[in-house]
């Protein structure tokens, strides 16, 4: 069974700090790893990673996949209070399993 | 990114009534759609997976006669909560994914529907 573990589960920082969120996984057939941000509504898509070592970037957010280490990180630089949310890592195992496997999420709180 | 819409965003209904929630992929063809349920401060729970034109596959413990799913076209799926009861009150979220190999293979979520059954 595919498995996704995120750490830390919860993180409190001050505005302007840089944070790194971790996601490790176990999978039979890797297809892609996705990061989502969830505030009060449904998750919004951040990144999809399929290749190891290639950084994806969007503004202050970036993410990279390490297939050797079976892990991914999500970096947020110069955090703002609007970054406060739950960040979800999800694994798409492909093959006959078309379901996303979600981690429990990291609750990030950015204080002013 | 691709857009998935959900309607309605809020529903309040009386116990015993049926509620239909629509999910549409607005700018891509969703070969697979997913329905999730989320209780406060809990993770997303997958209820069922549906492929266009075929019957939905329900997760263990989800009653298919209670949560009817129809995926009639590549852009529309509906979830009907039949004979709703207060314990069905929850946040229902649909998600859509395009065909394998497409840019839309990424899975996008709709904004969710909050259901309150009185």
Per-residue pLDDT reduced to its tens digit, B52-90? 878 899 999 999 999 999 988 889 999 999 999 999 999
With a pLDDT cut of 90, the percent of chain B lying above it is 65
What pLDDT score does B102 carry?
Answer: 56
- Asked whether residue A62 carries a pLDDT value surpassing 70, the answer given is yes
Return the pLDDT at B13.
95
pLDDT band at A42 (very low <50, low <70, confident <90, very high): confident
3-state class of B61 per DSSP?
coil
Return mean pLDDT, chain A: 92
* B32 contacts in chain A (CB < 8 Å): 98
In this prediction, residue B1 carries a pLDDT of 64
pLDDT of residue B34: 94
Asked whether the beta carbons of A3 and A64 are under 8 A apart, the reply is no
Cβ(A42)–Cβ(B109) below 8 Å: yes
Q: Which residue has the tokens 């979600």?
A: A102
Q: Are B109 and A44 within 8 A, CB to CB? A: yes
Residue A69 predicted with pLDDT over 60: yes
The Cα-based distances of B63 to A12, A40, B17, B87, B116 in angstroms read 39, 27, 17, 13, 19
Other C-beta atoms within 10 Å of A45: how many? 18
Picking from A32, A42, A94, the nearest residue to B109 by CB comes out as A42
Nearest to B72 by CA among B59, B84, B56, B83: B56
Of A34, A41, A105, the CB nearest to B107: A34
Whether B106 and A34 lie within 8 Å, measured CB to CB: yes
Mean pLDDT, all residues of chain B = 90
CA of B82, closest CA in chain A: separation in Å? 23
pLDDT of residue B105: 67
Token pair of A94 as six digits: 């492909």
Strands (E), chain B: 4-7, 10-13, 19-25, 32-38, 45-51, 57-58, 67-73, 76-81, 90-97, 107-109, 113-117
Decide if A49 touches B, using CB distance below 8 A: no
Mean pLDDT of B26-35: 88
| Residue B94 confidence (pLDDT) above 60 | yes
| Residue of chain A nearest B99, judged by CA positions | A98
**Which of B28, B72, B65 minimizes the C-alpha distance to B50?**
B72
- The dihedral built from the CA positions of residue B5, B7, B12 and B14, taken in this order, carries a sign that is negative
């Amino acid at each position: 069974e595919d498995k996704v573990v995120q750490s830390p589960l919860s993180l409190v920082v001050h505005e302007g700090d840089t944070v790194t969120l971790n996601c490790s996984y176990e999978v039979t057939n890797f297809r892609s790893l996705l990061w989502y941000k969830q505030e009060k509504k449904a998750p919004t898509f951040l990144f999809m990673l399929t290749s190891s070592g290639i950084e994806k970037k969007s503004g202050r957010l970036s993410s990279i996949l390490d297939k050797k280490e079976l892990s991914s990180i999500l970096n947020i630089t110069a955090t703002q209070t609007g970054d406060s949310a739950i960040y979800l890592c999800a694994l798409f195992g492909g093959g006959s399993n078309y379901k996303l496997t979600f981690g429990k999420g990291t609750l990030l709180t950015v204080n002013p | 990114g691709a857009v998935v819409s959900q309607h309605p965003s809020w529903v309040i209904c009386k116990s015993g009534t049926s509620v239909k929630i629509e999910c549409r992929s607005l700018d891509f063809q969703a070969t697979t759609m997913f329905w999730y349920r989320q209780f406060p401060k809990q993770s997303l729970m997958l209820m069922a997976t549906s492929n266009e034109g075929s019957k939905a596959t329900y997760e263990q413990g989800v009653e298919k006669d209670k949560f009817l799913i129809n995926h009639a076209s590549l852009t529309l799926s509906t979830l009907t909560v039949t004979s709703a009861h207060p314990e069905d009150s929850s946040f229902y979220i649909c998600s859509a994914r395009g065909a394998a190999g497409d840019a839309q293979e990424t899975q996008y979520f709709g904004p969710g529907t909050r259901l309150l059954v009185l």
